[in-house]
Chains A and B, each alone.
Chain A
Amino acid sequence: GAVVSQHPSWVICKSGTSVKIECRSLDFQATTMFWYRQFPKQSLMLMATSNEGSKATYEQGVEKDKFLINHASLTLSTLTVTSAHPEDSSFYICSARDPVRGSTEAFFGQGTRLTVV
């Protein structure tokens, strides 16, 4: 099946610093990737849709200057949390679709647990 790899699995950073999270499709090309945020025991909340070669589309209420998304190739999208603060601590998950499959099924990365201290 299609594999999406997310790195790092967990990261601890100091308040005010920036953190980059990578999402790679390993065996397929993904023109579109999605970034979610999840709090404990809650559902996945879509933050933005990442499109290869163009600007990301952010969901309402998500600060685009805070959460920078770059999708420079068909296999890699990155989410950078800039000037992180403790309230940014959360679980971040990326997903991608394999357009060849055509079922709109999404494949998910392992997630990144971000802790800002």
Chain B
Amino acid sequence: AQTVTQSQPEMSVQEAETVTLSCTYDTSESNYYLFWYKQPPSRQMILVIRQEAYKQQNATENRFSVNFQKAAKSFSLKISDSQLGDTAMYFCAFPSTGANSKLTFGKGITLSVRP
């Protein structure tokens, strides 16, 4: 079974600083996607970034980037120049294989950006 682990329940960062959110996973698949989703106080789930496992290059979306270590099964999210609007819960997610690939979510981490 696939598992996703986020061991940090909460983190806090000063505005404009950089923060890294950790995620590890377990799978026997060799080709897959990994996602980070953001859930702000509105509770709307928003895709932050996706990584394709067969790509060696780490994905980057503006201030958001990942450190993908396939051998270690680690998928951390780095947020640079943190903004107040980054305050949210962040979930690492892993889709199962197959036609109805369902997402397995980590427990999530609550990130607070301090002014």
- Report whether over half of chain B's contact residues are helix, strand or loop; otherwise say mixed: strand
B78 within 8 A of A: no
**Chain B interfacial residues counted at CB < 8 A:** 24
Closest Cβ of chain A: how far from B94's Cβ, in Å?
10
A15-23, A79-87, A106-114 - interface stretch: A106-114
Give the B-binding residues of A (Cβ under 8 A): 32, 34, 38, 41-44, 46, 49, 51, 57, 91, 93, 95, 97, 103-108, 110-111
- Which B-chain residue is minimally distant from A49 (CB atoms)? B100
- Report whether over half of chain A's contact residues are helix, strand or loop; otherwise say mixed: strand
Please state if B50 and A105 are interface contacts (CB–CB under 8 Å): yes
Q: How far is the CA of A51 from the CA of B99 in the complex (A)?
A: 11
B47 within 8 A of A: yes
Give the A-binding residues of B (Cβ under 8 A): 33, 35, 42-47, 50, 52, 89, 91, 93, 95, 99-103, 105-108, 110
Q: How far is the CA of A21 from the CA of B103 in the complex (A)?
A: 21
Please state if B45 and A95 are interface contacts (CB–CB under 8 Å): yes
Please state if B99 and A43 are interface contacts (CB–CB under 8 Å): no
Which of A49, A95, A106, A110: most chain B Cβ within 10 A?
A106
